Amino acid sequence: MLRRIFLLAFLLVSATTYSQTQKPLRIIMIGAHPDDCDLKSGGVGILFAKMGHAVKFVSVTNGDAGHQSQGGGILAKRRLAEAKEAGRRFGVEYDVLDNHDGELLPTLSVRLQIIRKIREWGADVVIAPRPNDYHPDHRYTGVLVQDAAYMVGVPNVAPDIEPLKKNPVFLYFQDHFQRPNPFRPDVVVDISAVYEQKVYALDAHVSQVYEWLPWIGGFLDQVPKGDAERKAWLAKTRAVAITPEARTSLEKWYGKSYAANVKHAESFEICEYGSRPTDEDIKRLFPMLKTQ
């Protein structure tokens, strides 16, 4: 409890410091569906927002296929409303693009959508999936963001939006896939102090966390009925185990004694495209790491 109070106090002081001395960072996270960023990096989104930085979640599809009994425009509207409410609870902006769920392809038109989103946000950091995943929408979102990584600085591509003067740092969300190469936890962030808030925000995605994902996973009968019981169940089932590799990375960024007590964390791999950050760059771009 004392550690959590210390971290939250640090975030409050850091927010004041940044507002007085530095331009806030601008973080954009891009997922395939209107809950992907939330599940993969919602805790980090909360931490950035609490420190006074600008965070945007983007869903490349409208989610209109992700349910066992609803679909089409009705489901898309429901998922948009859920995403907006989740964004409010996370403290971030939330955009949902109108591309069909389950039909995403790495086309030029969608690439231009993503280039424009990154430019409009003036991103310092871009986080997206790796292009190897069980879901084609996830894979192609990874490809699309990779394809946008260089182009965000090219003036003659999407010339209606001013290009970025500096290429952002691009990172990947954590995944468990091993081929062609396993995920590498280059940056691991302690989210223990805000895990309850992350669960509260995920709770806004009712159609997903309590209906569709349990149904497709074969455990719909395990979802509790009461609100409090549901949130407790969600907190338990959505907790991500910290791998030995991630624990080692935590030790690098926070120190060994601190890392040993971290209960919840989110991990990211540095993409070879975009700016190649040094450790000092990472500390600047992830200022919550400076808590050791």
DSSP assignment string, 146-210: HHHHHHTT-TTSSTTSPPPSSPPEEEEE-----SSS----SEEEE-GGGHHHHHHHHTT-HIIII
Measuring CA to CA, how many Å separate 50 from each of 8, 84, 87, 125, 160? Answer: 9, 18, 13, 17, 33
Looking at domain 2-289, what is its CATH homologous superfamily? LmbE-like (3.40.50.10320)
- What whole-number distance in Å separates Cα of residue 270 and Cα of residue 185? 8
| pLDDT for the residue numbered 1 | 55
Residue 19 confidence (pLDDT): 45
The pLDDT value given to residue 290: 74
Identify the CA nearest to 30 among candidates 104, 108, 134: 104
Instruction: State residue 17's pLDDT score.
Output: 47
The predicted pLDDT at position 18 comes to: 46
CB of 55 closer than 8 Å to CB of 87: no
Ordered by start, the domain boundaries in the chain are 2-289
pLDDT at 2: 52
pLDDT tens per residue, the chain (292 residues)? 555 555 555 555 555 444 445 899 999 999 999 999 999 999 999 999 999 999 999 999 999 999 999 999 999 999 999 999 999 999 999 999 999 999 999 999 999 999 999 999 999 999 999 999 999 999 999 999 999 999 999 999 999 999 999 999 999 999 999 999 999 999 999 999 999 999 999 999 999 999 999 999 999 999 999 999 999 999 999 999 999 999 999 999 999 999 999 999 999 999 999 999 999 999 999 999 975 4
According to the model, what pLDDT value does residue 7 have? 55
Residue 60, token pair as written in the block: 């490349």
137: which 2 tokens? 């929408």
pLDDT at 3: 55
Kindly tell me the sign of the dihedral angle through the C-alpha atoms of 200, 205, 207, 210.
negative
**Burial zone of 112 (CB within 10 Å; 0-12 exposed, 13-18 middle, 19+ buried):** middle
What is the model's pLDDT at position 22?
80
Please give the torsion angle defined by the CA atoms of residues 68, 69, 74 and 80, in that order, rounded to the nearest 10 degrees.
Answer: -30
